[in-house]
Amino acid sequence: MSDAGSAAGSGSVEGTPRIAAKAVGKRFGDLQVFKDINMTIGEREIVTVVGPSGCGKTTLLRCVNGLLPVSEGEIQIEGTPVTRPRQGVAMVFQNFGLFPWKTVLSNVSYGLKLDGCPKEDLRDRSMEKIKLVGLEGFENSYPYQLSGGMQQRCGLARALAVEPSVLLMDEPFAAIDAQTREILQFELLRIWEMRPTSMMFVTHSIEEAVLMGHRVVVLKGRPSSVFETVEVDLPEPRGRETLSHPQFNELREHVWANLMDEVRAAEFEVN
Ligand SMILES: Nc1ncnc2c1ncn2[C@@H]1O[C@H](COP(=O)(O)OP(=O)(O)O)[C@@H](O)[C@H]1O
Ligand SMILES: [Mg+2]
């Protein structure tokens, strides 16, 4: 859908995607995890990446984040090659990644502090995001006092606190029960509508990939590569009603049919 980097005000170079992967490959020793990955993500675009367990989704995100070097090709953010972690790129982790000894407020402030936010602004800026994710009243709680859903709300607030231009999501709702997961998906969509960013959203849930993504990138094969990129032209804003849209079901079935054999193979694989 909205691929052109057309939105004003961010100083981006016209036509340069926020994120670009160009013929990217990654090896760990003899293991080639993926190869020849090409994708672009625009300024106000959610691209979901779906593929079976072990196909390299987390590895790809860590490469985009600058935590891991690529073995082949190049990843660019706003046209600049990624060689190390950089400001403006935030990540939300499957297992929340919160500091257990810090309160919600301190967890959310942490990244801001590293970002050089003036001390007097820390509380206000953190509280703004805590409110945005619906955690007001829990700012002094510790992670162990919160449900999984609330912990991930905190993880999201922490990522949003730095006003990221790139938001990387690594199966953020995979460890959360099914009903809460639905609620958080719609919450995230609501927040994204208010503050659109360039989002790369990794999931193994085909349904989630179609619901959240403007495009779905399907990874497949050993080593994996992009099997297809599916345009998702569903009406926006998306919400619960999206799930009963006829096109939603068609797209979900289409992606599922392409992945089914791989998901089966992954299930029976012994490491
Ligand atoms: N640091 C590492 N060293 C060696 N192998 C790794 C490392 N990280 C991941 N792998 C391997 O790379 C493959 C892809 O892993 P991962 O990116 O976690 O997959 P996914 O997130 O899609 O489940 C797996 O076979 C995993 O064992
Ligand atoms: Mg993973």
**What digits encode the pLDDT tens for the residues 14-47?**
689 999 999 999 999 999 999 999 999 999 999 9
- Whether residue 95 is contained in a domain is answered as no
- Whether residue 93 is contained in a domain is answered as no
Distance 60 CA to ligand 2 centre (A): 9
Is the domain of 84 the same as that of 191?
yes
For residue 95 and ligand 1, the question of a CB distance below 6 A is answered with: no
Ligand 1, from 27, 28, 203, 204: best to mutate by most atoms within 8 Å of Cβ?
A: 28
Is the domain of 71 the same as that of 8?
yes
Is the domain of 8 the same as that of 116?
no
d(CA 57, CA 39): 13
d(CA 38, CA 225): 9
Looking at residue 65, which CATH number applies to its domain? Answer: 3.40.50.300
Is the domain of 54 the same as that of 81?
yes
Distance 33 CA to ligand 1 centre (A): 7
Residue 194: how many other CB atoms lie within 10 Å: 8
Is the domain of 173 the same as that of 142?
no
User: Residue 8: pLDDT above 70?
Assistant: no
- How much is the pTM? 0.92
Indicate the pLDDT class of residue 4, thresholds 50, 70 and 90. very low
Q: What is the pLDDT of residue 262?
A: 79
* Residues 58-79, mean pLDDT to the nearest whole number: 97
Distance 62 CA to ligand 1 centre (A): 11
Is the domain of 64 the same as that of 194?
yes
Which run of H or E residues covers position 166? strand 166-170
* Residues 60-69, mean pLDDT to the nearest whole number: 97
Point out the ligand 1 atom lying closest to the alpha carbon of residue 61. 17
User: Residue 156: pLDDT above 90?
Assistant: yes
φ/ψ of 35, rounded to 5, equals -145, 155
Per residue in 241-270, pLDDT (tens digit) is 999 999 999 999 999 999 888 777 777 776
* 170 DSSP β-pair partners: 202
Q: What is the pLDDT of residue 2?
A: 39
Distance 267 CA to ligand 2 centre (A): 15
Q: What is the pLDDT of residue 13?
A: 56
- Whether residue 1 is contained in a domain is answered as yes
Point out the ligand 1 atom lying closest to the alpha carbon of residue 60. 17
Residue 63: how many other CB atoms lie within 10 Å: 24
Tokens representing 40?
């672009």
Is the domain of 41 the same as that of 147?
no
User: Residue 183: pLDDT above 60?
Assistant: yes
Whose Cα sits closest to atom 24 in ligand 1?
Answer: 54
Point out the ligand 1 atom lying closest to the alpha carbon of residue 26. 12
User: Residue 11: pLDDT above 90?
Assistant: no
Is the domain of 180 the same as that of 52?
yes
Is the domain of 181 the same as that of 270?
yes
Is the domain of 159 the same as that of 255?
no
Ligand with minimal distance to 49 CA: 1
Contacts 24+ apart (CB under 8 A), 114-121: 115/87, 115/162
Whose Cα sits closest to atom 26 in ligand 1?
Answer: 54
Ligand with minimal distance to 174 CA: 2
Is the domain of 81 the same as that of 186?
yes
Is residue 25 within 8 A of residue 74, CB to CB? The reply is: no
Whose Cα sits closest to atom 4 in ligand 1?
Answer: 28
Kindly list the protein residues that place their beta carbon closer than 5 angstroms to ligand 2, a single-atom ion: 57-58
Point out the ligand 1 atom lying closest to the alpha carbon of residue 51. 22
Domain hosting 118: range is 100-163
Domain count, the chain: 2
* Residues 54-76, mean pLDDT to the nearest whole number: 97
Is the domain of 83 the same as that of 110?
no
d(CA 250, CA 50): 16
Q: Burial-class residue 255 by CB neighbours within 10 Å (0-12, 13-18, 19+).
A: buried
CA dihedral 145, 141, 98, 94 (to 10 degrees): 50
Is residue 226 within 8 A of residue 23, CB to CB? The reply is: no
CA distance readout (Å), 194 to 4, 152, 188, 211, 271: 19, 19, 10, 17, 43
d(CA 138, CA 106): 12
Is residue 92 within 8 A of residue 81, CB to CB? The reply is: no
